[in-house]
Amino acid sequence: MTTPDYVPGHGLLRGKSVLITAAAGAGIGYSAALRAAEEGCRALMISDIHEGRLAEAAARIREASGLQAVYSQPCNVTDEAQVQALVAAAERDLGGVDVLINNAGLGGSRLLVEMSDEEWHRVLDVTLTGTMRMTRAMLPKMIERARGVIVNNASVLGWRAQKEQSHYAAAKAGVMALTRCAAVEAAEHGIRINAVSPSIALHDFLKKSAPRELLDQLASREAFGRAAEVWEVANVMMFLASDYSSYMTGEVLSVSSQRA
């Protein structure tokens, strides 16, 4: 089935400021950043561990969207000092963060019996603990203002089983649980926390990190017979970040048609 036409912006984030992690390159994070600009956000900060790609991504977003208030700040979410520096910079440059999108994650393929402690901890540290660190650092700022939205990037592997994905699946299941528990704590302060759960969304990094045969097999199991475009996942993030989802919190939305 052919890919649908790209959906134009509808002003869903008009007047809001947005901070997004892991937003350099061609993946879901970059697409979410571009979509946020197209949806009318007043200011945007993107972050990534790749400094060169980060600056290029910010420039591309300015050119493509016309939004000039696009800032960038390198950050490794496994480093608490860098996380705190990112939040401080975003609060300063954006005049307060209205929306945080936690997109940073790390995958890999390894049979559990062959997996080292280092591999396990690295995936969990970036994907789960990194999401926790960013949420922990951002919540006090949002609590002071009694408003804010956090959107986390989970995965259908948090629900489903796949060979060689024990570390990644455990991390994403953790992101889902973190989303639900943090949402309950944040709700009394007027803050919403939700997550998206993509199945397979093709981008350059994924194509390099997984065999083409496996990607084709996973895509063929989708109801539409294709993988998602990254912007299709980003669209759901925009919905969760917007006032259209004002009564949703602690939810994990599957951006997937995958049949188990």
Q: Is the separation of the CB atoms in 201 and 153 below 8 Å?
A: no
Helix H or strand E encompassing 7: none
Phi and psi at residue 39, in whole multiples of 5°?
A: -85, 10
Residues 6+ apart with CB under 8 A from 232: 4, 201, 255
How many whole angstroms from its chain centre is CA 88?
Answer: 20
Is 168 a known active-site residue? yes
Residue ranges of alpha helices (H) inside the chain are: 28-38, 51-65, 80-94, 117-124, 130-145, 166-187, 204-209, 212-220, 230-241
Give the number of other Cβ atoms within 10 Å of residue 43's Cβ: 23
- The catalytic position among 6, 30, 71, 168 is 168
3-state secondary structure of 72: strand
CA distances from 11 to 8, 70, 93, 243, 252 (A): 9, 17, 22, 11, 23
Give the number of other Cβ atoms within 10 Å of residue 63's Cβ: 10
Residue type at 251?
E
Maximum Cα interatomic distance, the chain, rounded to a whole number of Å: 50
Only one residue has tokens 């950043």, namely 33
Q: Which active-site residues does the annotation give?
A: 168
